[in-house]
Structure formats: structure tokens, C-alpha cells
Structure 1
């Protein structure tokens, strides 16, 4: 009897079946809660041991070929971007920048040239942002007061932060890119590449203004921007003595271009195979294109001398004939194709 009482004292569940069931139920609940806590803790612990487990994003591949128009959020509002995807889903991209009179509906590279056809079979994504008339693709100080511009241009931010973030979500690399532009977009392409070396491996200027500090250039840009949308240049880079003018002058920041793959082109301004004016307005436009291209050639030649003095190599193309017009820029884009694809490993 004494031994029986001792066993009951050691194991009270035997004496009370209800208590036994309750205790078993509690133990099961504690076991389940413990297993759940362990399961929840495992990913966190793994993250502490190896950050890649906790933060790794799913692998993405760009669409294999095809054309798309998207709107990408920016501080300026949604920006339309025309995209031709790399033919085999590669991660390289070539940004094509428009000229001073950039339109709000389409990037002129998409309809004034055969750029899409040129690169359709290549493993590089063509990125053509729409808009930015007279912007020089810069971050402006303020909105232009001459034309009551509703927003302040922030194109450098868009092209180097907001747009790359979107493209990365579609499989395009943030670091394997080229940028090429004509006229206004030519100097802008070099500016973007110089200050964002982690993003761009190639930069190209076609008929660009690459010596903005030359006598008369700042005044010429002021007049041109008034004629193209009534934009006030002071809202862009401030008065002529503001340091922002030097920051955006390829002749000045030329040392920052060392190590980049560069393609620089400007024609003589003499009419060539694509200049066949027939109507009076054609003769006026051709005359304007002659003067603009001659100015671009002087700027580009001065830039070449500056680069040579620094020992920085670049590919130069100075055709004997050609004016400031799209057919010639389309031809130069084709001439630069091999260098671009080599640099981005995008054949």
C-alpha cells in the first residue's frame, strides 16, 4: 500500500484520467508551438548566416526580342519609353537619346532612322526615352518660366536611377549599358557616361556640341532653346558663369572619359547624298542643317584635340559630306554598331 501511494505521488496522471488528458494536451500544444517557433526562426537565422538567402531576388531574364512601349514612374511624372528587347534575352542595353526638338509622342530614333531594324537581330535592348525637348537630359535647377513649364526637368535622375531600376526588374543590367545621342543628345550622352561610370561602358556623340565653353556657344544654346519650345536656359544650368555649365561641357570633363569606349562623329556640313531639296522650305531647312553641322564639326574637332592631349583614345568619324539631319545619324549608328556590340558583349 505504501508503494502504491508512492507511485501515485510520482505519477498523479494515473490517479486522475482527466488530469492526464489535460497534461498530455498541454504538452502537445507546447510541442507544436515550439516547432512553429523553430520553423519561423530558421529563415531569419539563415539570413544572419548568409545575407544572400534573405535578400536574394528571383533571377530575371529580359524578354527575347519584341517591341514594347511602357510608362516609367519618375519625379517628372510617368515617362514613355520605347523598348526593343534583346533578341536572345541578353542583359545589355543601348540608350538612344533624341535631339533638341524631341517630341512627346515618340523618340525620333524609332521613326526617323532604321535603328530598330539595325539592331533587331542583336542581343542588346534598345531603350528610347520619349520627351525632354531642350532638356540636354539634365537635372534642371527650376522649371522654365518663359513657357510656364509645369515640372522641373530631372532627366539625369530618370536616366541613371529611375529608368535603370525599372529595366533591372525586366532583366536588363544596371552596369552593361551604352548611351548614344545626336546633337543635344550627343553632349548629354558623354555627360551621363562621364558621371555614371558604373552604368555605362560605351558613349557616342553624333553631331554633338562638345565644346560648350567655346566663344558664342552659350549664347547659341540660349537662342536655340528659345526657338525649341521657348525654354529658358537659366532654369537649366543657371547664368553663364554658373559652374553647372562647366560640369556639362565635354571639353572640360574630358579626363573623366578615360577608359570608356567612345564613338565621336560629325560631318563637314557640305550637302551629301541625303540632301536633295526641292521645295523652298527644303532649301531653308538644308541651309540651317549646313550651319548646325559645321558648328558641331568645330566642336567635335576641338574635343578630339583635347582628348588627344590627354592621351584618351576614341573612334572618330568625320565624313566629307553630310548635314545636321537624321539620315546621316542613322548611317553613323550603323557604323558604330560593331564597336557597341563588342563593348557590351551583345552579339
Structure 2
């Protein structure tokens, strides 16, 4: 009989949940848990901070390209947990997805011995919401934000799954992957970060999957959805100082690309008669700016979810 293990930081207890068909009481308000969630990719670790007052709304936070295998960087590189500690929204922090772009791949990467095909869209919109529903988390009142790799994914997930997501946010996201030669930038980044092959993700350039997963190309799907897009201008700001010159130079180059992408996304929205909040700030491609962007987005998220 299928069981699920819930590891709670409250008192360090480890409890075995009831069979999946049985009713389950939700975790205590304000608790932090690490769940092992079944998926077509195998068990996926998901870190969760439960809503402060037992509410059903949820905010999904997606990592960047270097997504670690043991934790969400939102929990270690930002104050996201503290930001929402008193809010009536559950934070859902999927762990893993290294170089995945949180999408459904065609096949495992052929260049690094990957055995399992990434199916992150399926996980985030079907398997994980169904699992969390057992704890009282809504499948129809969620928000999703992502940094870097997760930015375009957040908008794509929200666009194709409007019944689930009521808000989407992209922080330094690459929002126009079909733009000429940007696929080569993605190829180089994915090769550098785990030797993943972009062709196994969406096929060669020109394959319909590229356009299908391009937030600028699919902007119409987002009509009427509250959206927040934030990007740095590529110039070092006050939050870059602790990261050193070498990191800052690299982050400047990456952010100059996301700045252009944000502008193209904004222009596409204007062509369609749509609006979104698009902010460009002094700064580069680093976590302190994404923490800042999340703080800016927080009241918009709470409004969209009715989770005050």
C-alpha cells in the first residue's frame, strides 16, 4: 500500500502518512516540511513552508540553472521563508531540476548519461498539485515565480495552466529563447552546467517545442493574468559588492541578455494591448536582486491569491 513520508522540522519528527486514498489533516500552520513526492522522474524532494493560518493558497518558487540536488536556493540564498512567514500562503519549493528549464523534455540528455527524461511541467502542474491537495493546498489558487532559468518557465507554466496559477513572476528570466542565436547561449550554458544537451530538451531550432516554450511568443496566453517581470540592467549595483569582480563580470553579461528579453516581452505585450509590471533596476544576475524582486512581488502575489 502506497505511503508517503513527511519529514517535519517541527521537533525533528518523522511520521508515516496514511494511505494516499485516506483523508489527511494538513500540517500545523507555520511548519516547515520536506516532502518526498512521487513522479515519473522518481521521488522528488519538495520543501514546504505551510501557510501561517492554514490557508489553501500556494506560491511555487523555481530555482535557476544550477538548482542543487538537496535544497531550493530560495531557502538558502534569499530570505523568502521570512518574507512570507506571517502570510496565509504555503511556499512550495521544488528541489532539483538542474539545467531542466522546468519543462517536459523529449528524451534524457544524450551527453551526460542521464537515465530519466525530465518531465518538470507534468510534475509541477499535475503530480505535485495532486499530492499537495492531500494536505489542503489548493490546485486552483496558486502563484509561480522563478529566477533566471525559472523565469521563463514560470510564465509558460502559468500561461498553459491558467486554472492553476493566478499570478506569475519572472526575475532575470530569458523570456525569448527563440530569438536568433539565443539558443546557442542556452546550449553553452547547459553544456557548462552539467553537460546537458539542449537538443534533447526541445529538439533542434525550429522544432515547435521552442516556440511553445517561449513566453514572448506565447504572451497571449497570459492575457488578464497579474504578471511581474524584473531584470537588472547589467550594471553592478550595491548588492554585487560581496560577490567579487569575477562573478560580477559574468553576472553583468547574463543580465544584459535578460534586460533585452524583458524589453522584447514588454513590447510584445504592448502590441497585444496587454499590460504587466516590468521593472529594470541597477544590478546583475545574482540572488540578492531576486530576493529584492520577490519582496516587490509579495503584495501582488497576496492580492492575486487573496492570501492576506
State the TM-score, normalizing by the size of structure 1: 0.81
Say which structure is richer in helix: 1
State the partner residue of 1:316: 278
Aligned residues: 288
- Return the offset for 1:63: 3.4
2: distance between equivalents of 1:253 and 1:175? 21
Give the equivalent residue in structure 1 for 2:265. 303
Does the Cα contact within 8 Å between 1:83 and 1:128 map onto a contact in 2? yes
Equivalent-residue separation in structure 1 for 2:219 and 2:181 (angstroms): 20
Q: Distance in 2 between matches of 1:275 and 1:110?
A: 20
Q: Is the 8 A contact 2:48 2:93 kept in 1?
A: yes
Unmatched segments (≥5 aa) in structure 2:
1-21
* Aligned counterpart, 2:297: 336
**Distance between the aligned counterparts of 1:297 and 1:338, measured in 2?**
24
3-state SS of the aligned residue for 1:64? coil
Q: CA offset at residue 62 of structure 1?
A: 5.7
CA shift at 1:277, angstroms? 5.3
1:135 has 2:97 as partner: no
- SS of the equivalent of 2:146 reads strand
- Is the contact between residue 94 and residue 178 of structure 1 (CA under 8 Å) also seen in structure 2? yes
Query: What is the aligned partner in structure 1 of residue 211 from structure 2?
Result: 246
Q: Distance in 2 between matches of 1:302 and 1:221?
A: 18
Structure 1 runs (4+) deviating above 4 angstroms are 57-62
In structure 2, the residue matched to 1:153 is 118
Larger strand fraction of residues: 2
Given the superposition, is the C-alpha separation of residues 172 and 233 from structure 1 closer, same or farther in structure 2, using an over 3 Å criterion? same
Unpaired stretches in structure 1, ≥5 consecutive residues: 1-56
Which residue is 2:58 aligned to?
A: 93
Deviations 1:76-133 (A, max 9, x none): 0000000000000000000000001101011100000000000000000000000001
Equivalent residue for 1:290, pick from 239, 252, 258: 252
Q: Is the 8 A contact 1:202 1:343 kept in 2?
A: yes
CA distance, structure 2, for counterparts of residue 237 and residue 60 of structure 1:
40
Partner of 1:200: 165
1:146-225 equivalent positions in 2, closer than 5 A: 146-225=111-190
Paired with 1:93 and 1:153, the residues of 2 have a C-alpha distance of: 23
Deviations 1:271-326 (A, max 9, x none): 11111157xxx22111000010111000011100000111111112111x111000
Using the alignment, how far apart are the partners of 1:218 and 1:204 within structure 2?
22
Q: Does 1:81 align with 2:46?
A: yes
Partner SS, residue 240 of structure 2: coil
Partner Cα separation in structure 2 for residue 233 and residue 264 of structure 1? 25
C-alpha separation between the residues in 2 aligned to 1:265 and 1:275?
17
Q: For residue 114 of structure 1, what is the aligned residue in structure 2?
A: 79
What's the Cα RMSD here?
1.4
**2:26 and 2:134 in contact (8 A); partners too:** no
